[in-house]
Amino acid sequence: MAELTSFGYKAGNSSLHRTDARFKILCIIVLSFVSLNIHFGGLGILTVMLLGAILRARLPLLSGFKELRYFSILLLLIFVARVLSSGGPPVFSFKYFSVSTQGLFDGILVCWRLALIVVLGFIFVSTTPPSAVKAAVQWFLKPVPYIPEKKIAVMMGLILRFVPVILNQARETSEAQKARGVENRRNPVYRLTKLGFPLLRRTFERADDLVVAMEARCFTENRTDPELIVQKRDWVALIAVCCLGVALLTVSGF
């Protein structure tokens, strides 16, 4: 039996857990914009602050990064593509490929920025209940005309609840394949096929079971949502994040 995934809500009493979900979303938007427009010095400061926030909230840092190990493959591909596509004096050449110092810096910079955005998402998901996320999304979309804010909010809540289920299912399928010696096969396409198809089939089966259960209980999007209460610390957190963003952008010469 696979252990529970760390990529999900973790109950706690830290300042991050108590912050209003709407303000968390605004803070993520600000910090994401900042991280995409600052350089190494600012990224280092932001990284230290995010790691401090994770430790203060007592989130599973190591297991959380372990859950995101597959994202590192995407970052590696982005890094290689950036290195090979950037110009500048080459420091290493091999036939049709050349690697320049500028390419290395660009690759590290882009991957660092994307990694910080993923860490922000990890912090948000780990400290915010799905019901609060649903209520916050519904609150943001309510003033927008011709948009069914309740249905979209329900879909967002279901997505957040289903991500840990999919990750657990992937771990169970991987362990089952290892027990059958599939990992000893050298063909990566064969291993990927043996992992991907059972995972997709079981994920769709769980989704069908969920739909049947919701229909059997006459589920509708018109439900009582948790009350979102704005407190002084929420405004203080948002103002602090905005000031930090301005400072980092100013230092980076934005």
Higher pLDDT, 101 or 238: 238
Domain assignment of residue 239, yes or no: yes
Same domain assignment for residues 212 and 240 = no
Higher pLDDT, 112 or 176: 112
Domain assignment of residue 2, yes or no: no
Per-residue pLDDT band for 153 (boundaries 50, 70, 90) equals confident
CA–CA distance, 113 with 38 (Å, rounded to integer): 9
Higher pLDDT, 185 or 175: 175
Same domain assignment for residues 123 and 167 = no
Share of the chain above pLDDT 90, in %: 18
All residues at 6 or more sequence positions from 102 whose CB lies less than 8 Å from its CB, including other chains? 86, 87, 88
Mean pLDDT of 14-18: 87
Domain assignment of residue 6, yes or no: no
Range of the domain at 213: 130-225
Same domain assignment for residues 17 and 123 = yes
Same domain assignment for residues 203 and 254 = no
Domain assignment of residue 4, yes or no: no
pLDDT averaged over the chain? 82
Using DSSP, how many helices (H) and how many strands (E) does the chain show? Answer: 10, 2
The single-letter DSSP state of residue 226 is: P
CA–CA distance, 105 with 88 (Å, rounded to integer): 11
Is residue 84 a contact partner of residue 97, using CB atoms and an 8 Å limit? Answer: yes
Same domain assignment for residues 125 and 34 = yes
Is the four-CA dihedral 63, 41, 23, 114 of positive or negative sign? negative
Task: List Cα–Cα distances, 120 to 27, 34, 186, 220, in angstroms.
Answer: 9, 12, 36, 31
Outline where 57-148 has alpha helix (H). 61-67, 69-85, 101-127, 130-141
Domain assignment of residue 253, yes or no: yes
Same domain assignment for residues 180 and 124 = no
Total of domains in the chain: 2
All residues at 6 or more sequence positions from 212 whose CB lies less than 8 Å from its CB, including other chains? none
Is residue 8 a contact partner of residue 163, using CB atoms and an 8 Å limit? Answer: yes
